[in-house]
Amino acid sequence: MASFKARIATCELTIGSWLSFSDPAVCEVMAKAGFDWLVIDMEHTAIETSQAQHLIQIIDLAGCVPLVRVGCNGMNQFGVRSDCVPAPAVTEFGPLSLGMRFTTLPELIRRRKRARK
């Protein structure tokens, strides 16, 4: 199977879900449910950094791709890296550039930005 990065680059359909609970058991069930990715929502929930780190580890160990929606742009809140950081409230590319350096997909974001022009 192609990597998540390659699948996104080729616009292959991927299916995932969002986590709004910090319960490790719920996270593990979701991670083993067959989704390609799970987003930990730190923008609209009370999930703290230490809880998100633990959830990222659970998701990764289950073979699912961990994504994190951070509470504000440009923050590196993690001691571990998730595969992507969906940025909140992005209306233009400028603010997004701050957070790009904390993801493993910055080149894909840059390519898509150029393609939209």
Per-residue pLDDT of 18-69, as tens digits, reads: 999 999 999 999 999 999 999 998 888 888 888 998 999 999 999 999 988 8
Active site annotation includes 54: no
Given 17, 44, 50, 63, which residue is catalytic?
44
Which structural domain range is residue 40 located in? 4-116
How many domains are there within the chain? 1
Whether the pTM exceeds 0.85: the reply is no
Cα–Cα nearest to 51, from 87, 73, 80:
80
Please write down the HEC assignment for all residues of the chain: CCCHHHHHHCCCCCCEEEECCCCHHHHHHHHCCCCCEEEEECCCCCCCHHHHHHHHHHHHHCCCEEEEECCCCCCCCCCCCCCECCCCCCCCHHHHHHHHCCCCCHHHHHHHHHHHC
| CATH value at residue 40 | 3.20.20.60
